[in-house]
């Protein structure tokens, strides 16, 4: 069985986000970038399946700038076998990313595509669902447990009422939740080994994918600065403040 894992290079989750001076987007110059956190869970799960003998090859794909190679190398240092960078300088909508991933799926023929449930930069939460529709493959989203048996996977996913358990036929698209596993840290020897693993670079222009943007970002703004909180002595004082100062009751 072969797994394709989609990993995105995003601003590191520990970084304090800054909005560009012209409000056109988020400042990414001189900012620490890392693998999107749920994508680390996707890589971890694929490697665990490989270690348990269910999967024979884990291929990692990232779509983006030349520097996305670092993200692919990080996944290979965790244990992925090889990587593909689809190079583009364009900022792509989830639909364009899904179309690009579809083109890679058609080249690689994996049994399963693992993605993160959401990229923390623009919080779209769309790519996996769109890819499943484009491929006409079943999908399991926000997965917090994954089991594989022959050509069937069993998954758990959190829904409002609790946990939903599903059985899905492969090939399938699965998007991973942070609860799925604890991603490993790559050891130094594995980081060194990852430098020698194969990484193909493809220009997005060679995939004949329509990457035209259908979403226009009008303006990005900082959230309003929060006012400091205050301690109250008792419920009576709280009611007074809500009634006469905040005027919300
Ligand atoms: P999104 O729909 O943008 O929230 O992204 C959901 C998931 O799609 C991410 O967690 C990644 O696994 C994958 N993905 C999104 N953009 C890219 C990209 N440029 N390259 C590779 N994978 C991506």
Residues of the chain with pLDDT under 70: none
What does the pLDDT read at residue 224? 86
State the virtual CA torsion across 205, 210, 216, 217 in degrees, nearest 10.
Answer: -40
Nearest residue (by CA) to ligand 1, atom 6, is 118
Ligand 1: centre distance to CA 239 (Å) = 46
State the Cα–Cα distance between residues 67 and 87, nearest whole angstrom: 9
Does the C-beta of 97 come closer than 6 Å to ligand 1? yes
What count of residues does the chain have? 249
Give the residue numbers spanning the domain of 205: 2-245
- At residue 221, the pLDDT reads 92
Q: What are the tens digits of pLDDT across the range 175-190?
A: 999 999 999 999 999 9
CA-68 nearest atom, ligand 1: 20
Q: What digits encode the pLDDT tens for the residues 17-48? A: 899 999 998 898 899 999 999 999 999 999 99
If you measure from the C-alpha of residue 201 to the centroid of ligand 1, how many angstroms do you get, rounded to a whole number?
18
pLDDT for res 230: 85
Q: Could you tell me the CATH number of the domain that includes residue 66?
A: 3.40.50.620
Tell me the C-alpha distance between 36 and 8, whole Å: 6
User: Is 127 near ligand 1, meaning CB less than 6 Å away?
Assistant: yes
Q: Is the CB of residue 64 below 6 angstroms from any atom belonging to ligand 1?
A: yes
Q: Give the per-residue pLDDT at 12.
A: 96
- Mutate which of 95, 102, 127 for ligand 1? The one with the most ligand atoms within 8 Å of its CB, which is 127
Sheet holding 172-176, edge to edge: 162-169, 152-159, 139-149, 172-176, 112-116, 2-6, 57-64, 82-87, 199-203
Give pLDDT, residue 86: 98
Domain count, the chain: 1
Any ligand 1 atom below 6 A from CB of 54: no
Longest dimension (CA), the chain: 69
Q: Evaluate whether 8 touches 60 at the Cβ level (below 8 Å).
A: no
Per DSSP bridges, beta strands 82-87 and 57-64 are parallel
Model confidence, pTM:
0.91
User: Ligand 1 centre and the CA of 243: distance in Å?
Assistant: 46
* Segments in the chain forming alpha helices (H): 37-51, 68-78, 94-108, 127-135, 188-194, 235-240
Could you tell me the distance, in angstroms and rounded to a whole number, from the CA of residue 115 to the centre of ligand 1? 7
């Amino acid at each position: 069985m072969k797994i394709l894992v989609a990993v995105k290079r995003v601003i590191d989750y520990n970084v304090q986000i800054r909005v560009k001076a012209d409000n056109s987007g988020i400042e990414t110059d001189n900012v620490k970038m890392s693998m999107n956190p749920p994508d680390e869970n996707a890589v971890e799960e694929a490697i665990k399946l490989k270690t348990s003998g269910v999967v024979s090859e884990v291929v990692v794909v990232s779509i983006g700038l030349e520097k996305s190679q670092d993200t692919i190398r990080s996944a290979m240092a965790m244990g992925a076998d090889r990587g593909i960078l689809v190079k583009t300088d364009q900022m792509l909508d989830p639909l364009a990313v899904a179309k690009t991933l579809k083109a890679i799926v058609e080249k690689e023929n994996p049994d399963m595509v693992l993605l993160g449930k959401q990229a923390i930069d623009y919080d779209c939460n769309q790519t996996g669902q769109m890819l499943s529709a484009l491929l006409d493959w079943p999908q399991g989203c926000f997965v917090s447990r994954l089991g594989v048996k022959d050509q069937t996977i069993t998954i758990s996913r959190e829904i409002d009422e609790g946990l939903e358990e599903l059985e899905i036929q492969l090939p399938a698209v699965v998007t991973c939740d942070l609860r799925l596993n604890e991603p490993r840290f790559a050891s130094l020897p594995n980081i060194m080994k990852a430098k020698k693993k194969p990484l193909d670079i493809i220009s997005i222009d060679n995939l004949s994918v329509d990457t035209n943007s259908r979403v226009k970002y009008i303006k990005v703004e900082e959230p309003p600065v929060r006012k400091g909180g205050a301690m109250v002595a008792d419920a009576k004082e709280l009611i007074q403040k809500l009634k006469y100062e905040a005027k919300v009751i």
